[in-house]
Chains A and B, each alone.
Chain A
Amino acid sequence: MDIDVTGARILISKPEWGGFMLTETVVVTWCVMAVLIGVCFVLTRNLQVHPQTKRQVIAEQLVGAIQNLVRTTMGERFLSTWYVPFIGALFALSAGCSLSSMVGAYAPTSDLSTVLGWALLVFVLITFNKLRSNGPLGYLKSYTEPIPIMTPFNIIGEIATPVSMAFRHFGNIASGSVITALIYGGLSALSGMVLGLLPGALGDALSHIPIFAAGIPAVLSLYFDLFSSFLQAFIFCMLTMVYVSDAAGGAE
């Protein structure tokens, strides 16, 4: 039996439009976004000053949790900015995209383009904050510190930030799906082999049913899909917050 380890399927490809292509990644992301926006819409429907529904309590808890995370990691000054919804969206989209593999869809976060795009956005934020806090000259000067000869390493380090973030996230999610696929395939093959030893038509029939593939992959999926999804989303958000608040300098 063959196990294909591939990327996302390409749904629409128009090379004449500057290499435009619409892949499964983007479509699944849209579905995840639709679900998340729908959840937001439902949670914040009919809000009351005196909460009467569980929905409102959940919504307030979610907002409070994200605000708290941003406050403790980035500081009070980022609390009333766009960073709070940005971190919330980043966490929700990352976790949601990773979790989409649990319903059988292709996980957009196992596509390097997705996480690299997000990491580039974070890189832009970091650079923007550095430019704002140090000024353009101060920003350029920071590459020559502590000694000018370090400049190439500083540049590499700067670029390494988004690249490492992207590959960490991509590697974890993608490898999880690869391992799940491998174990699933391996267990199916083992099942066919062992049951094929049974004599007569019975063994012939049972060997086509991958009995061993039931159960064990589900337990592994708990780690690779559920736990890893939230963990990687959390790590990505934490790194974003730490890098950005670091770039913004000390408390103003």
Chain B
Amino acid sequence: MEVQAFISIAPWTMIFQIINLLILMVAFKKLLFKPVCAILEKRKAEIEGHYQQAEEAERSARTLQKTYEERMAGAREEADRVIRTATESANAMSAGIVDDARAQAEQIRRRAETEIELERRKAFDEVKGELSGIALDIAQQVIEREVDPKDHEAFIDDFIKNVGEAS
């Protein structure tokens, strides 16, 4: 078999080797760099997406927190207002009840006084009637004659009045 010299330049070999290198370059680009770079890009995009998602989640959480805080403050105010209103109305109601009770008590007292007065007058009248009868009897016995109540009405009344004042 023919053999080249140790140091030799073969144009065809050079052309072949240049083409070989270029072919390998294209093969590396298509088979190694392109797919790996595509995957790396995809990973980068995914990581960026994750970051964006995290940022968005944080933002929405913050908004939510703010809303809650506002709502909580509002609720507290509302509760205060409700309590105040309730207290006021309760106070008003209790005052009304007390007033009512006082008025009723007053009314009852007044009615009782009236009744007492009536009773007293009735009893007085009764006693007066009886007393006039008794006075008549005594007088009849004293003077031993009929005393006409009509004739001596003024006299009897006077007597009773004296008795009443004395008693």
Could you tell me the distance in whole angstroms from the C-beta of A79 to the nearest C-beta in chain B?
Answer: 10
Q: Are B21 and A121 in contact (CB under 8 A)?
A: yes
* Given known contacts A23-B13, A89-B24, A118-B18, A59 and B32 CB-to-CB distance under 8 angstroms: yes
| A contact residues around B36 at 8 Å (CB) | 44, 47, 59-60, 63
Q: Are B12 and A21 in contact (CB under 8 A)?
A: yes
| B contact residues around A85 at 8 Å (CB) | 25-26, 28-29, 32-33
Q: Is B8 an interface residue (CB 8 A)?
A: yes
| Per-residue interface assignment for chain A, residues 112 to 155, with 1 indicating a CB less than 8 Å from any chain B CB and 0 otherwise | 11101110110000000000000000000000000000000000
Q: Are A93 and B24 in contact (CB under 8 A)?
A: yes
* Given known contacts A25-B13, A26-B17, A49-B46, A86 and B25 CB-to-CB distance under 8 angstroms: yes
Interface-located stretch among A8-16, A185-193, A224-232? A8-16
| B contact residues around A59 at 8 Å (CB) | 32, 36
Q: Is A90 an interface residue (CB 8 A)?
A: yes
Interface residues of chain B: helix, strand, loop or mixed (majority): helix
| B contact residues around A82 at 8 Å (CB) | 25, 29
Interface residues of chain A: helix, strand, loop or mixed (majority): helix
Could you tell me the distance in whole angstroms from the C-beta of B98 to the nearest C-beta in chain A?
Answer: 80
How many A-B pairs have beta carbons closer than 8 Å: the answer is: 151
8 A Cβ contacts from A180-213 to B: none
Range class of the B interface residue count: 35 or more
Could you tell me the distance in whole angstroms from the C-beta of B19 to the nearest C-beta in chain A?
Answer: 9
| Per-residue interface assignment for chain B, residues 1 to 35, with 1 indicating a CB less than 8 Å from any chain A CB and 0 otherwise | 11111111111111111101111111111011101
| B contact residues around A29 at 8 Å (CB) | 16-17, 20
* Complex CA distance for A89 and B30, rounded to whole angstroms: 12
> Which of B's residues lie within 8 Å of A, judged by CB?
1-18, 20-29, 31-33, 35-40, 42-43, 46
> Which of A's residues lie within 8 Å of B, judged by CB?
5-11, 13, 19-23, 25-26, 29-30, 33, 36-37, 40-41, 43-44, 47-50, 56, 59-60, 62-63, 82, 84-86, 88-90, 92-93, 108, 111-114, 116-118, 120-121, 174
